[in-house]
Structure 1
Amino acid sequence: MTKKIPLKQTAYHVIKEKIITCEYKPSSFLNEEFLSEELGMSRTPIRDALGRLEQERLVSILPKKGFFVSAITKEEIEMVFEGRLLLEPYFVEKYAHELTSKEIDNMEKIVDIYEKAIESEDSEAYYGLDNDFHQCIISKCSNHYLVSTYTALYNQDRRLRILVSKTVKQRLTETIIEKRAIIKCLRQGDVHGAAEEMREHIVKSKISMFTLI
């Protein structure tokens, strides 16, 4: 028998995805009555979901006004990239040695498919594949506090890229080269080199982001 998913969990995932994909635009008002009708449930699970998303900084609560999709500001972008620069190179240095040759092969396959998605301008696919690439390393981390922090950062990062979007093709093509450079270092057992390539990849992404906003 299939276990029934709680309504508040369903509401959380649906609203979160609509925020991240910018269907619900930054700074827009989240009308509880509208959400209740759209999702076909009462306001109670909706409020629970919005409260959880507020903790993840995807939703803001304004006194006497209600729930709003969190705004995207230059300060917010700076914080997201600062967090990524601290965490992702660390993940590489700390956990990349646990990757098997088969897992590194899989990372290369992901980049190959990612490249084809960019060529065909399939934005939904390449954003998902980008996440898959990074998760190959993140999944090795057993520290759930760090993983939780990274996930919150990545959700915001994904929202930023979709908003400015669909990131210019030249930049997307550059990320292929950068990802392959990371893989090359991993194959050679050069963890420090891979971490440095990851750091450079994030810095370039940050520069690109600020030229687009």
Structure 2
Amino acid sequence: MNRGKSAPKTGSMQSRVIADMRRRIIKGEIEPGSPLSEFALAEEFGVSRTPVREALKQLQTEGLVEIRPRVGTFVTTPSRREITELFEMKELLEGAAARLLARRGRVTEIDLLERNLREADEATERDDRERYAELVQEFHDLLIAGADNSKLEAHYRMLMNQLAYSRLVHTSLSRPGRVLQSDREHHVVLELIVEKDGDSAEQVMREHVRASRRALLAGLPIAGSDEVFGTQGS
């Protein structure tokens, strides 16, 4: 009976560690390649090492950390190849989302996307890249939500965690002229969605993701043959 009561508590601790560590890694608060100590994290969260160990295993499954036996646990540092492969999947999912949203007609997400673009235009005029980066993420999140496909959204969330996208978007937007180009591309995508032109919306959305990938890769440092992603986008 007592064991039955303690299980949810342990699960709750583990969930809390997972959520907080996931947020820190995705937001770039913990740098790529940083070591993660089970002991230190257990001390910080005020829990035993067991929920921390299980939390790190889950984060490894999500692609956010790497556990090296007899060496340690580290925040994942994706290579250029891995980033390219993840963006290829991002292109497929967001293209499909644009097509699905175009089929739905005038739904709530359309109004929210239009408001998003008005705010993005203002941020672009102010050259406020921090705010624009936030609006970029919101635009893509609204697009996925508007597709109204739970399976697509689940795969997308997992992918975005693996990308730690908020770190990468800043690097992409640092390229000269990319903010203005990105804003224009978003406008074209939404215009086609409103016109219910799913084929064109998908095509343009995929082109937009490819352009973002090119800008990102152009802004990454080159580190030997693997050309890994460092801390530039954080």
Q: TM-score, normalised by structure 2?
A: 0.78
Rg: which structure is higher?
2
Amino acid at match of 1:186: I
Q: Partner amino acid for 1:195?
A: E
Aligned to 1:121: 128
The 8 Å contact of residues 50 and 59 in structure 1, kept in 2 or not, is answered as yes
Alignment of 1:1-213 (within 5 A): 6-100=12-106, 102-118=108-124, 119=126, 121=128, 123=130, 125-141=131-147, 143-155=149-161, 156=163, 158-161=165-168, 164=171, 167-168=174-175, 170-213=177-220
Deviation at 1:26, TM superposition (A): 1.1
Q: Distance in 1 between matches of 2:14 and 2:129?
A: 31
User: For residues 35-64 of structure 1, what are the alpha-carbon distances to aligned partners after superposition, in whole Å with 9 as ceiling and x for unaligned?
Assistant: 223333332222222111101111111011
Q: CA deviation at 1:206?
A: 0.8
Q: Is the deviation greater in 100-109 or in 178-187?
A: 100-109
- 1:96, 1:208 → 2: CA distance? 27
Point out where structure 1 has 5 or more consecutive residues left out of the alignment: none
Q: What amino acid does structure 1 have at the position aligned with 2:135?
A: L
1:21 Cα deviation (Å)?
1.8
> How many residues end up aligned between the 2 structures?
209
- The higher relative CO (CA closer than 8 Å, separation ≥ 6) is in 2
What is the CA-CA distance between 1:122 and the residue it aligns to?
A: 5.7
Q: Give me the CA root mean square deviation.
A: 2.5
Query: C-alpha separation between the residues in 2 aligned to 1:169 and 1:40?
Result: 46
Per-residue CA distance 1:145-176 (angstroms, 9 max, x = gap): 43222112223151551573763463122211
Aligned to 2:196, the other structure's residue is in SS state: coil
Is the Cα contact below 8 Å between 1:127 and 1:158 reproduced in 2? no
